[in-house]
Each structure stands twice: as structure tokens, then as C-alpha cells.
Structure 1
Amino acid sequence: MSAQPGVLFDAPGPKARRNVLIANVIALLGVLAIAALVLMQLNTQGQLAPQKWLSAVNGSAWSNYYLPGLQFTLQSSGIAVITAMLFGLVFGFLRLAPFAIVRGAAGVVVEFFRAVPVLVMMFFLYFFLARNVASAGFIANEDSAYFAVIIGLTVYNGAVIAELIRSGVRSLPKGQREAAAAIGMTNGQSLRIVEIPQALTAMLPSLLSQFVVILKDSALGYMIGFYELLQYSRQLGSGYSNILQTLVVGALIFIAINYLLTKVASWLAGRLSSRTGGDTAPTTSTTMAPTPQAGVR
């Protein structure tokens, strides 16, 4: 056994580390074997042919398919991020209201939208908008999918953000609210000026992670005919009979964007921790030399 035990278990000894290494090597060999089998099958079916991949990454594919699809994806996701934040702030504030009936009503709304799957919400909104709002002439029929995606992403992720804000405020020390009350602030002023800004700062990495979820969930819009990156990739693949290749390129674009957002979240979390984590080392006291008094030698 190790001489430095952990919190829940002792650190692994030489034999345990050797067993872990052997298991990792076996798992790696298994993954490589599966990857080799998949590549062999793809090669047998002609999916690794150079012309299939070249047609999926040429200039025409980017200018006519990937970039327009990426534009609609980022546009819908960006609008959904803003509206979801507004939704989350409003209902997060209501869930912290001093009146039980307001908290209860806001809780029902938040829990309902958190429980309904995003895709189901998009389908419902799409058919509702197409049959009622679009037929009445308020929006164009072809825009029904666009608005259904944005509203669906807004209500689901807004409900999640509302819970993040509520839990962030509840995690603050009680002294924050007591100090605000001591200087004459009402409960609403304390939430708006003191507590919610601190909760947003503390929950910023989680909020950015939720923004990544919004970006990924926007791809569900292709199920209702919304032309975003995934739909454009499928359309390109249907024209050149290389759907696998175009979907791989689309997936790589999604991975790159999500990786960038994740790095931004990690960077912001590090900046916030460095700003809020001050030097906690004890201050060395300074001893002053005694002042000689008159008549004392």
C-alpha cells in the first residue's frame, strides 16, 4: 500500500499501476483493431476514393453549402443565446421572488420546458406556426422552421439557465443579502444589484457550456426542414453521392466551433478565478523599534 493515502482510497501501488497499464494497452489495441476493420469496410465499398473526398471539400462545396449552412447555424444559435439568456434572467428572478405563488408559477413553467425534449418542442412549434401564424400571414410559411428552432432552443435552454441562476444565487453567502438589507435595499434590489450579478459571474463557465449545447442542438432543426449546416451537408452529399464525406466535414466544423467555445469558457473561468482568488498568505507583522525616552540611557 502507498504511504500517502487518498481521500477515498489508497494510491495504487506498483502492481496496480502495472495492471492499469496493461488494461490501457489492451483497450488501445482493441480500438485500433475496430478502426482498422471500419476503414477496410469503407475501402471495400469505395468510400475512401479520393474523388468522393475532393468533391466534399472543394471551393464550390464551401461557398455554396458549408458557409451558408454555417451562417444559418450561427445566426439561429446567436439569437437563441440572447433570447435564452433573457428568458433565464426573467424566470430565474421570478423563482427567487418573495411571493410563494410567483415562485410556484415560475417553477411550473421552468420545470415544464426542462422536461420536454427540444426536438418535440420544435415539432410542436413548427406545426403550430405553419398552421396558425403563417397561415394568418404574420410570417412566411418557409420561415416556420426557422422560428420553431429559435423558440424551441430559447424555452428549453432558458429554463436551464433560470435554474443555473437560481442555484447560483442560493449558493451565495447569506451575508450578501443581509448586507444589502442593512443598507436599506429591498429583496428585489438585492437580487438585481447584488446577488444575480455575482451568481452570473460564478456560473459563467456553466452558462458558456449551455451556449455550446444551443449550438449543437440547432442541428436538430434539419428534422423540420430548417436549412442549417447539417441540412446543407446532406444536400451536398445527395448531389455527389458522398453523404458520408460531407457529413464528416460538417461534423468537423461543429467540433472545431464547440472546441473553440469550450476553450473560451475555460479561459474565462481561469481569469475569474485569478481575479477572485487573492493572496491568502498571512501578512508579516512589522515590529517597530522602541523610541528612546528622555532621561533613559
Structure 2
Amino acid sequence: MSSVLYDAQGPRAKRRNVVLTVIFLVATAALLWWVYKALKDKGQLEWALWEPFFSGTEAWSTYIWPGLQNTLKAAALAVIIALPLGAVLGIARLSDHAWVRVPAAVVVEFFRSIPVLVLMIFGLALFAQYTNVSSDDRPLYAVVTGLVLYNASVLAEIVRAGILSLPQGQGEAAKAIGLRKGQLMRLILLPQAVTAMLPAIVSQLVVIVKDTALGGAVLTYSELLSSANTMSGYYGANVIASFTVVAVIFIALNFALTSFASWLERRLRRAKKSTGAVVGANDAQIAGTAGTGGGGTV
């Protein structure tokens, strides 16, 4: 039996797939055993190195929670600024006026081509030379600046692609009933494009959360990952334990973000499917009577 995408496997193909699956599982088990043995030989699995995270709250209240707060603060500020800025730049790139479209394209292509770490470093130098921002706040300002400039440019391309993915008939129908370009964008195109853009936007939000770690690695911003370095030195070089806990926190944080986005996307799709009004038989008969002046039904 075959389908549109592939032909059904024969006996030889099934046997080959079973053999390859067994080989893959054996290789995976061997790799996990090698990692476990290497960690055990180095003493990284000793309970004394993992105990601070499971007994007492000192490690969490002193290192992890403050670092997580700073990570969420930088990510939240970057998201709040980058989302509307990216939407404005994406819409500007679709403008009919060259004096709007061309500068927006230059800004997007320029900042999208520069690594976010370089933008953070330039931001730190900018705030140090030309502003009165204190040295304690400069890392936060620099991290948020770099994240906003880079991710707003990426989000602008996501918005532009989401709008262009809609059928052209949507815009033509709106223009036929007399809507202006701004009304067309605000009332017709953007609401429909949000659902299509949502997965890509959430992926970029996850990138923002993870890229805050660059500020800790280079700009001495005390976010979650940098707190793991300090924590591992304080608790006897438990590097594996500290970074494992931090990695689990990042995974849980990003998983919660993507799960919320998936739920929101499903809700938006259901809402679009349920917006049509149902006309009953009596309503149709009344409408027919009003339209023809008689008692006929539609």
C-alpha cells in the first residue's frame, strides 16, 4: 500500500530500518554511558556538589533568583520595545512611498546584519561616552539596546513576510469598499497575519531570552548564566551541577513561553472559525419578504 508521499516499505526495507534503529539505540546508550563514566571519574556526580540545590535555599535566593530576575528584566524590556518597533518597521517596508520604504529597509538590513554581541558592546561604549547613565546600569542598558536593535529588525521581516503571505484578494476587496491604506492594514491585513506570524514571533522571543546571556559573558551583566559562574566557584567548583540547573531553568522558561504561544494560536484560530453568524430559517424568510415586498423566502 502506498500514499501520496511515499511507497509502502517492503520486507527488506523494514528489516533494514529495524537494524538501523537498534544500532542507533546502542550507540546512544554507549554515548550516555561514556558521559556518565567521565563525569563520575572526575567526581562531578558527588552528592556534595549537587546538595546546595536540593537542601536549603541559599543557592536559590543568593544566586539563581537574582540572576533570573535580571534575565527576565532585560528580556521583558527588549520585548516591549522590539515588538512595536519591529511592527512599525515591517509595515514601513510595505509603504507605497519610497521616502518611507527605503530608510526602513536600510535600517532593517543594517541592524539585521550585525551580530547582537557587537551591538551590545557598541551600546555599552555609547552609554559610557555620551550619557550620564551610571556604571551599574550601563550593562542593562547595553544589553537591552543590542537586543532591541537586532530583534526589531528580525521581527520587521517577520511582520512583512506575514502580511505578504495573505491572498491579494483581501487587499483588493478592502479597497473596493473604499478603505484607505491605513485602514486596510489595521483592520484587514494585520489581524489576519497575526496568527500566521505567531510561531515565528515566539521563536524570536525565545532567542531574546537566551541572548541575554551574552550580556553576562561579555558586559558583566549579572544575569542567570553569569550567576552560575559565581555560584560554581563558591560551592567548590561544581560547574556541571550549576550549569545543569541553569540549563533546566532556561528550558522550563522557554517551554512555558512556547506552550503559551501554542495555546494562544489555537485560541485565535478557533475564534476566527466561530465568527460567522448563523442565519435561521425565520430570519431568511423575513429578509426575503423585506427584499421583494412579498412573502417569498430566500
Question: TM (normalized to structure 2)?
Answer: 0.86
Give the aligned length. 274
Determine which of 120, 135, 144 is the counterpart of 2:118. 120
Please give the residue correspondences for 1:214-293 in structure 2 after superposition, counting only pairs within 5 Å.
Answer: 214-222=208-216, 223-240=218-235, 241-277=237-273
Confirm or deny that 1:199 pairs with 2:193: yes
What is the identity, as a one-letter code, of the residue corresponding to 1:102?
V
Secondary structure of 1:141's aligned partner: coil
What secondary structure is seen at the aligned counterpart in 2 of 1:203? helix
Whether the 8 Å CA contact 2:195–2:269 is kept in 1: the answer is no
Matched with 2:86 is: 88
Q: SS where residue 160 of structure 2 aligns?
A: helix
- Give me the TM-score of the superposition, normalised by structure 1: 0.86
**Equivalent pair of 1:85/1:161 in contact (CA under 8 Å):** yes
Q: How far apart are the structure 1 equivalents of 2:113 and 2:17?
A: 40
Q: 1:175 aligns with which of 169, 172, 177?
A: 169
Q: What amino acid is the match of 2:125?
A: F
Cα shift readout 1:104-155 (whole Å, capped 9, x = no counterpart): 221111111111111121122122222332xxx2x11121110111111111
Among the aligned pairs, what percent are the same residue? 43
Equivalent runs, 1:41-80 vs 2, <5 Å: 41-57=38-54, 58-80=56-78
User: How much is the aligned-residue C-alpha RMSD, in angstroms?
Assistant: 2.1
In structure 2, what is the equivalent of residue 291 of structure 1?
none
Aligned to 1:284: none
Correspondence 1:12 to 2:9? yes
Question: How has the CA–CA distance of structure 1 residues 242 and 206 changed in structure 2, closer, same or farther, with 3 Å as cutoff?
Answer: same
Instruction: Give the drift of 1:201.
Output: 3.0
Q: Is the 8 A contact 2:206 2:257 kept in 1?
A: yes
| Alpha-carbon separation, structure 2, partners of 1:176 and 1:272 | 19
Deviation readout 1:154-205 (Å, 9 max, x if unpaired)? 1111111111111111111222222222232221221123212221233122
Taking the aligned partners of 1:201 and 1:218, their CA distance within structure 2 comes to 27
- 1:199-257 CA-to-partner distances (Å, cap 9, x unmatched) read 12331222122211111111111121111100111111111221221111001100111
Correspondence 1:21 to 2:18: yes
CA distance in 2, matches of 1:80, 1:108: 21
Tell me if 1:185 matches 2:182: no
Report the AA paired with residue 79 of structure 2. V
What are the ranges of 5 or more consecutive residues in structure 2 without an aligned counterpart? 276-298
Whether the 8 Å CA contact 2:93–2:102 is kept in 1: the answer is: yes
Cα contact 2:174–2:188 (8 A) shared by 1: yes
- Post-superposition Cα deviations, 1:51-77, rounded to whole Å, max 9, x if no partner, equal 001124441000111111111111111
Give the partner amino acid of 1:100.
A
Partner SS, residue 227 of structure 2: helix
Distance 1:126 1:14, change over 3 A: farther
Q: Kindly tell me: are residues 18 and 269 of structure 1, through their superposed partners in 2, closer, same or farther at Cα, counting changes over 3 Å?
A: farther
